[in-house]
Structure 1
Amino acid sequence: MRRIVLALFVFAACTAHAHDEKAPQAQGKAAPAHTHEHDHDDDKDHDHGHTHDHDTHGNKHPHIHENAAAVILNAANWDEYAPTGKEADAIYGDAALVNRYLTAVIAAPLPTRNANMTVRNVGGQLIDLTVNEPLSDQLSCFYIQKRQFVFDSLSHSSTKSVRVEKGREINVSSADVKTTGVDPKTGLKVELTYKLGGSDNFITIVTRFENPTDAPLTMNLADDLRFDAGKESAIKATEGSGPFYWFGDEFWGQAYAVVPGPGWSVRYESDARVHKLAYSKSGNDKGELMLAAGASFEFARRVFPAQNTLKVQSNAIAGLGGQTKMFSVAVTDAAGNIPPDTRIHVRGGDGFSGWGRTDDNGLMTASVPIGTYFVTAEIQGHKLRTASPLKITVQPNVDNTKDNELKLYDWNPGTVVASVTDESGQPIASKVEFIGQSGTVSPNFGPDSAVFGIRNLRYTPDGKFEQTLAPGEYEVRVSHGVEYDAFTGKIEVKSGQKTPLNVKLPRSVNTPGWVSADFHSHSSPSGDNTSSQLGRVLNLVAEHLEFAPCTEHNRVETYDPEIAELKVGHAVRTVSGLELTGSPLPLNHQNAFPLKYVPRTQDGGAPTTDADPSVQIERLFNWDNMSEKLIQQNHPDIGWLFFDKDGNGKPDGGYPGPRKFMDVMEIHPIDMVTSMTPSADYRGREHSNQVFGWLQLLNQGFRIPGVVNTDAHYNYHGSGGLRNWIASSTDDPAKIDVLEMVRNSEKGHLIMSNGPYLEYSVRESGNDKHVISGADLAAKSGKVTISLKVQCPNWIDVNRVFVLVNGKIVPELDFRRADHPGKFRDGTVKFETEAELKLESDAHLIAVAVGEGLKLGPIMGPDWGEQMPTALSNPIFVDVNGNGFEPNKDTLGHPLPVKFVAKPR
């Protein structure tokens, strides 16, 4: 097989391998933020400092710059100069450097400039760097001289001229950004210059050190950088030293190389987040530099971005004067077809190793040093041609772009054509899991941070997709959250054939007047994970979460662009918010929504944290001119917060401030509700029992409604494992009133669950007027009638329902399937009854449904699936004596808690 390959020069970008939603292996962000339209008149500018594109490996609107230029980013030039990508963090006031090849951003040198919660103090540093085709920034921050200097100025310049060479006019351009700083410890000064020529495929970073003191100063030449890759398909140079250091993410399509000047070498070591670089010359292995009084020294290094690790290494080698030569590999499968988005591994006999990807024509084109290479492939985690790699000898004076065909004899896939609908035939977002059977290996579509294909999961916003799979037998699990029945069945995929997967998921659980919500989840803008924000939204709609505030760490954000791009506005309502995350951990975490989102500004206009939880939560309460908002205390240590401020294990009254301002409080894991002790073994470790602590608080008179949330950080079965059902005047997600969600949550009109749907109300016996969770009920007779009903889809069950009266189980209201078979059923309605209760004094009543000895199971994945099915209401407060509800002060047989410390094992 022969193919014609267009000639490319050594530094040219490989053709982007574009993907639409039918090819999930490489979905990501690459379209400029300005392509999104929004329905909200009150906030027409919803673009982010990061982007909302969904195709990492192909950009609809790449930056096109004929000349090098430097600008300060503002509203007028943003679309032309701001980079995009999952990790892009540029805001107004930062400086952008661009040319035809790359886009870079240098953060404004402000002491308050942070890229996100964990990438902090970035003023004057390189925070974004990406090739222009496609724009896909994956760099968190390149810290010059290991954060030694505080920068305080910023200037930029651009030049353009025409040079005549051999009778031809050639455009010549250059641009730079400069900032100056000082080491507060030693007084050492530095001038930092970022340089970019019109045709450079790298950015040059020059540090000029000056010793203004009257004594010599000794320093080490060293940088560090943040490139987070704990859950990614990222690779990097083996720890050691060499003429350059490289690393990159093959899935999201961006790699980097750091190259010091000639004669210099770089030592490198790294973990999942931080990469440490130390520079040295022969005879100075420690890299120490002594500057005499009044002396100066200049050091330069170049940083190359590229689409993959194969290309970035070759560019670095060429930049150091090494000879490289272009070659191409044409990939076909066993049937002669072009497999989309194949990952290509190229390994040289001298230890050179790198990865690339094929384009839409099945070609992988790159440059490598002269030599012999062995080429293998990988598709969906299947390693191909490892036993018989393609051997290619790249020669200096030969066209190496021809006749290199990598035939994947073992890859002869079929195609699954899926259609997932509800019982009326309407398409619905869904989660589809493929599990290989009878020797068939499960696919691996992408990392935990991906969007449409994550490990062996296939997410779809509209129930439709076509997915190539290796031939074989698969178990298929199809679901759409806990209000819908799930489908589990078998399919056989045959080579070259289409296998239909037509699934109807009936909405078996009816929830009129209640909508499901998750108040707390995260994605890459939070800084403590690398998940695609688009993937988070797709997770939420696939799991049928109808109300989902955007709550990134320390950053007001929005899901509006993602919802618009996925076309799921009919299925989910969102609002801007945040999780304000400070120290001490884990105590000082509060969520809040709605908050005003100020796009392209520091933290989206969010408040800052404070070391005192009382100050921090009050600041949040007062934010946006004391606007109405829900403030949620996240995963609290109840004893520490309420009773043991200094954390020494002795009661001292706790923090008084948060009690005034918190509206709701997280109390998960709720499947500990049957362990009526302050702590218990939970999945192999001692865990504080938040439910028990909450019950003790209620008895002391703290009327703080409980909530549960996933706190999801990654997208593999990320959302859906916990949810709240909130009373709502509408069942249409698109019409949900945000402030109604706030107010009903504050009132406790909310049911917590990991799956079962619990209906619960109480009325005074003989009276038809009933109340729901969170409400007060006057019942002077002391006689109340409790209505209970539990619904579950076909993949969840419960076998026990009971009522807690002032935090204690009442034996006559403790129903087990084995003892009360007439009250339990096998269909959607698992349990239903009305029960009478005589109260002698005021009491709060909480309903609970559980599946003792049961698990949610594989539909919810290996983590959430281990939970015991549980639903838990908020309390109804029954006033018997007629003078208002009075708490009974009972501590439930245990002292009030103090700061939790797990006992040593």
Structure 2
Amino acid sequence: MQSLRLRRFIPCVCAFLWLSAAFATSAEIRVIYPEFEPDIDGKEVDWIYGDYLMKNDQISVTIAAPIATRDANLTIRGIGASILDLTLNHPSNDQFSAFIPTAARYQFHDPSQVQIGRDGDAVFWQCRSSKSLAGDGTTATVRYRLVDGNAFVETTVWIEGDAAETVQAFDGVRADRSFAMEQSGSAAYCSDAFFRQTIGFKSPIGTEPPQWKNGRPAELHYSDQHVQRGDGMTTWTVLLYPATSPIDLLAVAEGSHRSPAMHTFEVPLQIPGGDHHAAVRRAKISLLSKTDSENADSTRFTLQTDDQGIAHARLVPGEYVVSHTAIGNTPFVLIVKSSDQPQTIRLGTSSPSGFTATVTDGDGNPIPAKATVYAADGDHPDFGPDSARTFVKNCVYAVHGQLHCPLDPGTYEIHFSRGPEYNSVTRQIQVGKETMTELSVQLDRVVDTRGWVSTELHSHSSPSGDNTSDQYGRVENLLCEQLEFAPCTEHNRISSYAPHLQQMQLSHLMATCTGMELTGNPLPANHQNAFPLHHHPHTQNGGGPRVDPNPVVQIERLAMWDGGSDKLVQMNHPNLHQIYGDLDVDGTPDKGFRGMIKWMDVIEVHPLETIFQDIASKPPNVREMRIPLFQWMQLLNQGYRIPGVVNTDAHYNHHGSGWLRNWFASSTDDPAAISTDEMIRQAEAGHIVMSTGPFLSVVGTSKTGETQAIPGDDLATDDGQVNVQVTVQCPNWLDVNRVALFINGRRSEEHDYTRKNSPELFADSDSVVKFDATITVQLDADAHLIVATIGEGMTMEKVMGEQYGKRPPIAVSNPIFVDVDGNGFQTNGDELGLPLPKSPH
């Protein structure tokens, strides 16, 4: 049993110690700090300064610093002593979220318990737990050990204490969304085929693979043959193998511990026109041992190439039948003989089929555009998952206006678009075998939005931790939907879109800034966005604040962050009923979280179509009271002048951003000249129109003065009469058939115009200007005026996709506040027939 004991004679090592040997395969371990940063690629890279890097010539491993405040992201918290990044060095491609020793049943929050050092031909990192969540008096110690030249990291857990022998042996794994949990031979593994990473888990003792148990995290359970118990101790060891694919894992996990040679597969799909084409070189490569090729039951392994047509795998020496398939290409088969030396294997292709397109504006300049491809018969093309970039499901994002799109032979309908200020163009093509159809597409900017810029204030990608979307793909999505201002708002992490825009050389087309969404409990009340915030790369939360269980404390902390700097604080998808005075949502008035309101600069109020619903006469159950737009109008009537906004809260890239947007008043129409400071001022002033696409212009005037009032402004009138000029513009893929005025949150029966009851006010379907009229309103007292327009019975499906496009075209203005008596605008306290809870305090 002595062999189970920890090697307590190993000395502690200085935190900044760099351990390495002179030869090439030597392993090393060090603390990460600005002068020594890991060279790790992949969309799930989570290391920060103060974490640890273990590395040899084969793999890289980062270990989270064992401190109480170490969170990887929104959903991976308290992650001290866990492996956050794990990848081969060549290719470096971290898609893995976390390996969590003991599945978080023990906390590792005491950095004084860390020991690092060299032990013969290996380096190690180990830490003793600071707390057992079971409270059973046991402690856990985890040790990671990396041997010179090995392609795996060895993980050992010791549980000590009187109750240690009763502790179940399992660890936790966070491998999200597109990972599959499998077993093969003596190894368990999780594999993400599209993003080309597999992680293998194998015990050095026993022949059974560990067993998966679904959950978040997934649990990796070890059998009795993997575990040693006795003398007040339970211990288990598992070897973690980063790999490109299951066949790559098989070569190292079932063979020698030393890695066989890496083979590179190239699929040279022909792409004309250089780097600025949106082009996909993705192919699936199938490998089957030649000796097994005549056995129908033999396992056939698949490799997914990256966007450049490259795939990697270590292979057991031998002959393989290699084939590949790619959309728009004829399948190709080759016999390959692998060896114990690295090889590059070039796979032939046919001439592709599909189309190429150049998309320009009315002046002939290439512009970012989205192409949505529909098959006339059968399934639509599927270029890649909704978390991918550039080619996403049946969408292509062409940020430079040029695309090369492979398609299998058949008939297709393609919708080219650039957001709702542009007409879309539809092309129907017949794709023949090995034929590329050339298209020239002109998208005309027909909607006049001078003085206004389009904004998206709330979207997400992989750094948020609750999704796996490529952040580069999010920026492509924003650009191709013609969002002109979009701060970066990942969950609980300050991040930036600027590097992606710089890589694309398109910083002049979209203004951005760093920000975050601070997301805590209770939900949904404790979600707030803020921007700009100072970004501290590779630090906890990117330098942003931590959450707090009290939403009032949390929003104040966020508002006052960075020394109280000027920023916009946005309340996200709120339950205003709960915030205003029903904290536990039981229908009995209480204090609520009303202290939050003074820190809110804007409030999300979607879905917009609820403004046309008769909620007051059909009140929902108090626990179903999350009707933000209706409750927002209630707040306006109580004197809270907090502007409304809409945002997509997009988490995936397939039509994710763009189907909801705000137009902010702006002193410039040039995205390159947009000032974040001005965007904050315009938002705080309520100079905002909210929309799923239609552009709504609302301008109020009166005889009292020459000043025009736009949404958010005050307007004085001596005689109670106000003229409201309403104009609705739509591109050729949108339309509206109703325009209504809302006075103090109530729809005016007098000023509710439809194409049926007032056809003279609506233009025909070919016109860009759908409605252009001056509405004269007679008021007896102060009131706020909101204008809304909708295309009832209409959708935006072909351009915005089946999920989001089923919603109607709709736009809602922020209110104009009308002062009738000359004493300044005063609220009327109207409850709209469905009162907000009144706090008894």
TM-score by length of structure 1 reads 0.82
Who is 1:584 aligned against?
A: 522
Question: 1:891 Cα shift?
Answer: 1.6
Deviations 1:475-500 (A, max 9, x none): 11100001111111112333333311
Work out whether 1:228 is the aligned partner of 2:181. no
Alignment of 1:98-109 (within 5 A): 98-109=55-66
Work out whether 1:609 is the aligned partner of 2:550. no
CA change 1:680–1:98 in 2 (3 A) is farther
User: AA paired with 2:821?
Assistant: N
Q: Is the 8 A contact 1:176 1:193 kept in 2?
A: yes
Question: 1:599 Cα shift?
Answer: 0.8
Q: 1:813 aligns with which of 733, 751, 772?
A: 751
Q: Is the 8 A contact 1:255 1:307 kept in 2?
A: yes
Who is 2:830 aligned against?
A: 890
User: AA paired with 2:27?
Assistant: A
Work out whether 1:315 is the aligned partner of 2:252. yes
Alignment of 1:835-846 (within 5 A): 835-846=775-786
SS in 2 for 1:245: strand
SS in 2 for 1:96: strand
Q: Is the 8 A contact 1:480 1:486 kept in 2?
A: yes
Q: Structure 2: state its 5+ residue gaps.
A: 1-22, 271-279
Q: 1:435 aligns with which of 360, 371, 374?
A: 374
Question: 1:261 Cα shift?
Answer: 0.9
Q: 2:167 aligns with which of 208, 211, 219?
A: 219
Distance in 2 separating the partners of 1:785 and 1:360: 56
Who is 1:40 aligned against?
A: none
Q: Is the 8 A contact 2:360 2:401 kept in 1?
A: yes
CA change 1:426–1:332 in 2 (3 A) is closer
Deviations 1:547-601 (A, max 9, x none): 1011111111111111111222111111111111111111111111111111110
Alignment of 1:854-873 (within 5 A): 854-873=794-813
Who is 1:355 aligned against?
A: 302
Who is 1:822 aligned against?
A: 760
Work out whether 1:742 is the aligned partner of 2:680. yes
Distance in 2 separating the partners of 1:551 and 1:361: 30
Who is 2:219 aligned against?
A: 276
SS in 1 for 2:631: helix
Q: Is the 8 A contact 2:42 2:94 kept in 1?
A: yes
Who is 1:110 aligned against?
A: 67
Question: 1:835 Cα shift?
Answer: 2.1
Who is 2:15 aligned against?
A: none
Q: 1:457 aligns with which of 379, 388, 395?
A: 395
Distance in 2 separating the partners of 1:576 and 1:806: 36
Work out whether 1:202 is the aligned partner of 2:152. yes
Who is 1:344 aligned against?
A: 285
Who is 1:302 aligned against?
A: 239
User: AA paired with 2:302?
Assistant: W
CA change 1:365–1:731 in 2 (3 A) is closer
CA change 1:178–1:333 in 2 (3 A) is closer
Q: Is the 8 A contact 2:201 2:210 kept in 1?
A: no
Distance in 2 separating the partners of 1:871 and 1:505: 23
Identity %: 40
CA change 1:821–1:542 in 2 (3 A) is same
SS in 2 for 1:266: coil
SS in 1 for 2:254: helix
Who is 1:11 aligned against?
A: none
Distance in 2 separating the partners of 1:729 and 1:870: 25
Work out whether 1:127 is the aligned partner of 2:84. yes
Alignment of 1:313-712 (within 5 A): 313-319=250-256, 340-346=281-287, 352-357=299-304, 366=313, 377-380=324-327, 413-438=352-377, 442-677=380-615, 688-712=626-650
Distance in 2 separating the partners of 1:367 and 1:833: 70
SS in 2 for 1:265: coil
Distance in 1 separating the partners of 2:636 and 2:813: 13
Q: Is the 8 A contact 1:412 1:471 kept in 2?
A: no
CA change 1:421–1:764 in 2 (3 A) is same
CA change 1:556–1:370 in 2 (3 A) is closer
CA change 1:365–1:711 in 2 (3 A) is closer
Deviations 1:505-548 (A, max 9, x none): 01001111111101100001111000011111111111000010
Q: 2:106 aligns with which of 132, 135, 149?
A: 149
Q: Is the 8 A contact 2:328 2:407 kept in 1?
A: no
Deviations 1:793-831 (A, max 9, x none): 110001111111111222332221122222211311111
User: AA paired with 1:237?
Assistant: E
Q: 1:189 aligns with which of 139, 143, 146?
A: 139
Question: 1:150 Cα shift?
Answer: 2.4
Deviations 1:49-97 (A, max 9, x none): xxxxxxxxxxxxxxx975321111111111xx24221001000011111
SS in 2 for 1:145: helix
Q: Structure 1: state its 5+ residue gaps.
A: 1-63, 161-172, 900-905
RMSD: 3.4
Distance in 2 separating the partners of 1:362 and 1:761: 54
Distance in 1 separating the partners of 2:448 and 2:306: 47
Distance in 2 separating the partners of 1:532 and 1:898: 45
More displaced 10-residue stretch of structure 1: 412-421 or 697-706 = 412-421
Who is 2:20 aligned against?
A: none
Q: Is the 8 A contact 1:726 1:741 kept in 2?
A: yes
Deviations 1:263-320 (A, max 9, x none): 25333225485321111244xxxx7754424xx5653221111122221133211147
Q: Is the 8 A contact 2:211 2:222 kept in 1?
A: no
SS in 2 for 1:142: strand
Question: 1:381 Cα shift?
Answer: 10
Q: Is the 8 A contact 2:260 2:340 kept in 1?
A: no
Alignment of 1:708-857 (within 5 A): 708-765=646-703, 767-826=705-764, 827-857=767-797
Q: How many residues align?
A: 793
Distance in 2 separating the partners of 1:366 and 1:616: 48
Question: 1:746 Cα shift?
Answer: 1.1
More displaced 10-residue stretch of structure 1: 758-767 or 864-873 = 758-767
Work out whether 1:257 is the aligned partner of 2:200. yes
Who is 2:275 aligned against?
A: none
Q: Is the 8 A contact 1:382 1:443 kept in 2?
A: no
Q: Is the 8 A contact 1:679 1:688 kept in 2?
A: no
Question: 1:894 Cα shift?
Answer: 2.6
User: AA paired with 2:413?
Assistant: E
CA change 1:203–1:778 in 2 (3 A) is same
Q: Is the 8 A contact 1:824 1:830 kept in 2?
A: yes
More displaced 10-residue stretch of structure 1: 885-894 or 594-603 = 885-894
Question: 1:733 Cα shift?
Answer: 0.8
CA change 1:536–1:867 in 2 (3 A) is same
Who is 1:96 aligned against?
A: 53
User: AA paired with 1:693?
Assistant: Q
Distance in 2 separating the partners of 1:303 and 1:791: 58
User: AA paired with 2:247?
Assistant: L
